[in-house]
Structure 1
Amino acid sequence: MAFVGKGGSGKTTMSALFTRYVTSQGAPVVAIDADINQHLALVLGVDPPPEPLGAHLTEIKDHLRGDNPRIPSADAMVKTTPPGRGSRLLSFDDLAGGEFAVTTPEGARLMATGPFAEEDLGVACYHSKVGAVELLLNHLVDGPGEYVVVDMTAGADSFASGLFTRFDLTFLVAEPTRQGVSVYRQYHDYAADFEVRLAVVGNKVHGPSDVEFLRSQVGDDLLTWMEHSAGVRAMEQGRPFALDDLEPANTDALAMLLKQVDAQEKDWLRFGHQTEEFHLRNARAWANARAGFDLADQIDSEFVYGP
């Protein structure tokens, strides 16, 4: 699942809280920081942060392409390259146990795309780093009771790559303000064309009038909400924090998120179709010109997605 929202809405905090909550229920979790502002390690209490995925893109490509004859080298692989026969698929344990993941104090595993390096400033696009996450999720075969939580880039910038289609459920974190719900309207309209399952989580809610405002703006997409929390503020300020410090209503909200995730059926047919669709889009837009050949040939029509 992904957490998205306006910058400052609390999506990183919600990603961290949900990761902690699912871990507390005894389930395995991999959290991935795919935001340009790399704060998830800080909120999860991880120091130092994990090795950035963006710095190891060639290694990741080499591993994933395996013996796929359609992909002769890492240079021939782009962020949208789909798996095919001969590719190395990843189990959840492969992802969680990989060399680029570290363990949080609660026992979840954390990965990160990494921040901009000095040589990137003014010349590089952040989506080149996010491409590592897209490739990993394209090759992941996860199962029931295995959770991957991705903290996405803020606002509608998430739509600049096909990564937004890689999730069984997307949680949009919205404050009860006009600015807070504006990203919801953008996300809702864009996502509708791609069967992206979207649920709104209200945040920093102070009372019934805030809930009513959110409901009037997003309707039935409002799944639950987090009340203003002294415990969360303590966590954000770096003071000692445990899930027991949360107010009961906020703990119940996290339980509702988990229940909603568990209710989603894995749609491998849609997943495969969208993997190939966005690969073809990128191939036509820029990747064919960069590679010097038609990347549509990387699609293996006889490959079956899923277990």
Structure 2
Amino acid sequence: MATVFISVSGAFVKVAFVGKGGSGKTTLSSLFIRHLTARALPVVAVDADINQHLGAALGLDEEVAAKIPALGDRLPEIRTHLRGRNWRIPGPSAMVKTTPPGSGSRLLTLAGDDPVHALGQEVDGATLLVTGRFTDKDLGVSCYHSKTGAVELYLNHLVDGPGEYAVVDMTAGADTFASGLFTRFDLMFLVAEPTRKGVAVYRQYKRYAADHGVALTVVGNKIQGDGDIAFLREEVGDDLLTWVGQSAAVRALEQGRQGMRLESANEAALDWMLAAVDARRKDWPGYHRQAVEFHLRYARSRPDAATVAALEKQVDPDFRYPA
């Protein structure tokens, strides 16, 4: 994870790809990640989807991808590291998915030498972190949010710098909003097919995102002609940023064939996406404020007063992210 990159961008951004199942968000997130690494930009890619296909989409052998240590399986080590000397947290096990950083906490950087990024696999010029698959042993015992909670902790403690990108392929559907994780992003790309179902998911996301000031933009996918574009424009209006059409190059990648150049129109769509990302400006005070808000919301949903009080004490009113 100590690779040195040359940055040509002033942005420092956490990006999420969301959408309904089958919309192509994993494919588009992998194309965007490749677009960044082709420009020698530092990228951490996080597979937070229950199906865990981002590694393969980036060209990683399936057997190699299956051996990447899962963040969800390493929570004790992750909590121990992030807690550091934060006296407000009595022990690593007291940390929950929403625990915000405070004085003494260990903050992470994308090029950092730390036990979290050490779990990553270098692929296509990016460092890939994975939450881990939902397995048979999880059935009836835990929900997938127990794994994505590791991503929320990671992003809460990640201080991304200028020209750095954290790109997360999220789980499909409205499950994205089952925790405060959806507020951990500077921009969310909603991948939408030109169908009524695709637009219905957009409306769901739009409502939730607007309630919490989360920036959301739409990328059309599987576009086959002007009619599809017109449909999306009519349904999502100015939220439609760009679109990606049917692609022989993408089909080749999905078949494991490398080297085919992406069509110029689709390459231009990725340029539009990168421009939208780079136009974002980090609001560290707002970022921390939302982390605290959702942590307190989580704390006050606990069933006993002692747990509520203990979790509330984890908030450090004097903490500030380094700008």
Bin the TM-score by the shorter chain: over 0.9
> Are 2:51 and 1:37 aligned?
yes
- Structure 2 counterpart of 1:241: 258
| TM superposition shift of 1:292 | 7.1
Does structure 1 retain, via aligned residues, the 8 Å contact 2:194–2:220? yes
Cα-to-partner distance string for 1:183-241 (whole Å, 9 max, x where unaligned): 10000001101000001000000111100000000000000000111111121232x13
Cα-to-partner distance string for 1:77-134 (whole Å, 9 max, x where unaligned): 1000000000001112127982111111x21110100002332112211001001110
Does structure 2 retain, via aligned residues, the 8 Å contact 1:9–1:203? yes
Q: Distance in 2 between matches of 1:87 and 1:261?
A: 28
Amino acid in the other structure paired with 1:4: V
Does structure 2 retain, via aligned residues, the 8 Å contact 1:66–1:87? yes
- Structure 2 counterpart of 1:263: 279
- Structure 2 counterpart of 1:103: 122
- Structure 1 counterpart of 2:104: 86
| TM superposition shift of 1:251 | 0.4
Does structure 2 retain, via aligned residues, the 8 Å contact 1:102–1:111? yes
Does structure 1 retain, via aligned residues, the 8 Å contact 2:302–2:308? no
Q: Distance in 1 between matches of 2:101 and 2:41?
A: 27
Does structure 2 retain, via aligned residues, the 8 Å contact 1:28–1:108? yes
- Structure 2 counterpart of 1:27: 41
| TM superposition shift of 1:293 | 4.5
Q: Label 1:215 to 1:292 Cα distance change in 2 as closer, same or farther (>3 A).
A: closer
> Are 2:65 and 1:51 aligned?
no
- Structure 1 counterpart of 2:266: 250
Cα-to-partner distance string for 1:126-151 (whole Å, 9 max, x where unaligned): 00100111001000111121011000
Q: Label 1:126 to 1:305 Cα distance change in 2 as closer, same or farther (>3 A).
A: same
Q: Distance in 2 between matches of 1:101 and 1:281?
A: 31
Aligned-residue Cα RMSD (Å) equals 1.6
Q: Label 1:221 to 1:35 Cα distance change in 2 as closer, same or farther (>3 A).
A: same
Cα-to-partner distance string for 1:241-285 (whole Å, 9 max, x where unaligned): 34x521100000011111110010001111011000000011111
Secondary structure of 2:134's aligned partner: coil
Q: Counterparts of 1:42-191 in structure 2 under 5 Å?
A: 42-47=56-61, 48-49=64-65, 50-94=68-112, 98-104=117-123, 106-191=124-209
Q: Distance in 2 between matches of 1:250 and 1:95?
A: 35
TM-score, normalised relative to structure 1: 0.95
Amino acid in the other structure paired with 2:189: F
> Are 2:184 and 1:205 aligned?
no
Please, which of 290, 296, 302 is the counterpart of residue 286 of structure 1?
Answer: 302
| TM superposition shift of 1:174 | 0.2
Does structure 1 retain, via aligned residues, the 8 Å contact 2:300–2:308? no
Runs of at least 5 residues in structure 1 that lack an aligned partner in the other structure: none
Does structure 1 retain, via aligned residues, the 8 Å contact 2:47–2:130? yes
Amino acid in the other structure paired with 1:134: E
Q: Distance in 2 between matches of 1:284 and 1:103?
A: 39
Secondary structure of 1:30's aligned partner: strand
Runs of at least 5 residues in structure 2 that lack an aligned partner in the other structure: 1-14
Cα-to-partner distance string for 1:9-39 (whole Å, 9 max, x where unaligned): 0000011000001000110111000011111
Q: Distance in 1 between matches of 2:303 and 2:39?
A: 43
Q: Label 1:23 to 1:211 Cα distance change in 2 as closer, same or farther (>3 A).
A: same
Does structure 2 retain, via aligned residues, the 8 Å contact 1:288–1:295? no
Does structure 2 retain, via aligned residues, the 8 Å contact 1:79–1:131? yes
Q: Distance in 1 between matches of 2:197 and 2:255?
A: 24
Secondary structure of 1:89's aligned partner: coil
> Are 2:28 and 1:14 aligned?
yes
Secondary structure of 1:93's aligned partner: coil
